[in-house]
Amino acid sequence: MKIPTKEECLRILKENNVPGNIIAHLNAVHDFSMKVADILEKRGIIVNRDLVSAGALLHDVKKLSPNDHVLEGYEYVKSLGYPEVAMVIKKHGLAHLDDEGFVPGTWEEKIVFYADKRVKGDKIVSVDERFEYIKQRYFQPTKDLNLSGLKSLQTATNSSDSCSLQYKKEDVENEIDFTKKIEKELLGDEKL
């Protein structure tokens, strides 16, 4: 398994002109991910820390893409010769949780997925606080919205936020439940 070092990840981010605020977020997700890995290791669970580190540092390498940053990041990192890191990136988002191919399954995938949901900007927050931010930023009511209106809304969302998330209230509630389930699986009764 080929995994880039932290220095190589930072070089990749620089080569992709990732702005400082996103790099600060990636570093915070990285540091939080390492704390989650510590908790799992104390329980005797083996975690590939290098894979977690690279996945955390590169998960938003294509965040500013006008398209789906999860898919673009996955394809890009895979093209660099890091397929396992690419898989962690593919499974960090919320937009495709209805597709099994995007649901985090390994410890490493779950750690990066969860850590990303606990970091708002570069600050550690609760799952509830993070989802309040997600709802404010991305939630768009879809009631009585025709297909052309939906397409326009997604296009506007893509251009202003570099994200194609189109939420319904029940989607958000399912995502919160899913994230809290992973939180319990990772942390047990520990608090971070």
Q: Residues 73-119: pLDDT tens digits?
A: 999 999 999 999 999 999 998 888 889 999 999 999 999 999 999 99
| Residue 152, pLDDT score | 33
**Topology of the domain covering 6-187:** Hypothetical protein af1432 (1.10.3210)
Structure tokens at 28: 């915070």
Query: H-helix or E-strand containing 38?
Result: helix 20-42
Band the pLDDT of 166: cuts 50, 70, 90.
low
pTM of the model: 0.83
Q: How many angstroms separate the CA atoms of 109 and 147, rounded?
A: 34
Q: Average pLDDT over the chain, rounded to whole?
A: 86
Q: Is 74 left (phi over 0), alpha (psi -120 to 50) or beta?
A: alpha
Domain boundaries, the chain: 6-187
Give the span between the Cα atoms of 110 and 179, in whole angstroms: 9
Q: How far apart are CA 49 and CA 72, in angstroms?
A: 24
Residue 176 above 90 pLDDT? no
What is the tens place of the pLDDT at every residue in 33-64? 999 999 999 999 999 999 999 999 999 999 99
